[in-house]
C-alpha cells in the first residue's frame, strides 16, 4: 500500500494514477498529522509526499520521517508537477529501490560466501594440524578425517556455486 500526502486539488487524480502504475492501493492524507497516524498503524511500501505540505508543517516533518520505516520515499512539488511526471518520478524511484535491493542482496551473499570460505579454510587447517598430532587415538583420527572430508565437500559445493 502507498501513502500519498497532499492537499492539492489534483491529489485524487494522483492517487488514481499511482494505483494504476503500481497496482497497489493508495491512501490519501491531506495533513502530516493524519499521515503520521497512518504510518504508526500500518506499514507502507511507499510514501509520496507533496513538498508543499511538508513545507507548511515543518515542525511535524521529523516525526513523519521517523515513522517511514522501510517505505520508499518520493518527494515532489505537486503544484508544478503534472500527474504524469509524479508517476514517472515514482517509477524511477521504485526501479532505483529494486536495483539497490538486488545489489545489497548480491553483496551480502558475496560477503557471507567469503566469510564461509574463510571459516572452512580455518577448519581444514585445524584438521590438518590435528591429524599430524603424534599418538592421536585412532577414534579421534577417524573423526578428524570425517570432519576434514565434510569440510572439503562443503568447500567443493561452494566452489561449484
Domain coordinates in residue numbering, the chain: 2-81, 107-160
Euclidean distance between CA atoms 109 and 117, whole angstroms: 12
pLDDT for 23: 94
- What pLDDT sits at residue 112? 94
Distance from C-alpha of 54 to C-alpha of 51, rounded to nearest angstrom: 5
What is the pLDDT, as a whole number, of residue 158? 84
What's residue 40's pLDDT? Answer: 93
| pLDDT by 10-residue block (mean), the chain, 161 residues | 92 94 94 92 94 81 87 91 93 94 95 93 93 91 92 89 72
**What pLDDT is recorded for position 101?**
93
Are the C-beta atoms of residues 100 and 145 closer than 8 Å to each other?
Answer: no
Contact 74, 93 (CB under 8 A): yes
The half-sphere exposure of 121 on its side-chain side, counting CA atoms within 13 A, is 7
Q: What is the pLDDT of residue 62?
A: 83
How far is the C-alpha of 27 from the C-alpha of 25, rounded, in Å? 7
CATH code, residues 2-81: 3.40.50
- Residue 61: per-residue pLDDT: 82
Which pLDDT score, from 0 to 100, does residue 37 have? Answer: 93
Q: Are 24 and 45 in contact (CB under 8 A)?
A: yes
pLDDT of residue 42: 93
Q: What is the per-residue pLDDT for 105?
A: 96
Give residue 47's pLDDT: 96
d(CA 4, CA 14) in angstroms, rounded, equals 8
Amino acid at each position: 500500500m502507498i501513502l500519498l500526502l497532499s492537499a492539492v486539488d489534483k491529489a485524487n487524480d494522483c492517487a488514481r494514477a499511482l494505483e494504476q502504475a503500481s497496482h497497489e492501493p493508495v491512501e490519501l492524507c491531506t495533513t502530516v498529522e493524519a499521515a503520521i497516524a497512518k504510518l504508526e498503524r500500518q506499514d507502507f511500501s511507499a510514501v509520496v509526499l507533496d513538498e508543499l505540505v511538508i513545507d507548511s508543517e515543518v515542525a511535524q516533518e521529523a516525526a513523519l520521517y521517523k515513522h517511514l520505516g522501510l517505505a520508499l520515499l518520493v518527494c515532489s512539488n505537486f503544484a508544478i508537477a503534472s500527474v504524469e511526471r509524479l508517476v514517472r518520478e515514482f517509477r524511477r524511484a521504485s526501479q532505483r529501490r529494486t536495483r539497490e535491493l538486488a545489489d545489497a542482496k548480491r553483496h551480502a551473499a558475496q560477503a557471507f560466501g567469503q566469510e564461509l570460505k574463510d571459516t572452512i579454510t580455518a577448519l581444514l587447517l585445524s584438521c590438518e594440524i590435528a591429524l599430524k598430532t603424534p599418538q592421536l587415538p585412532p577414534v579421534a583420527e577417524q573423526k578428524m578425517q570425517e570432519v576434514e572430508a565434510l569440510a572439503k565437500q562443503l568447500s567443493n559445493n561452494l566452489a561449484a556455486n
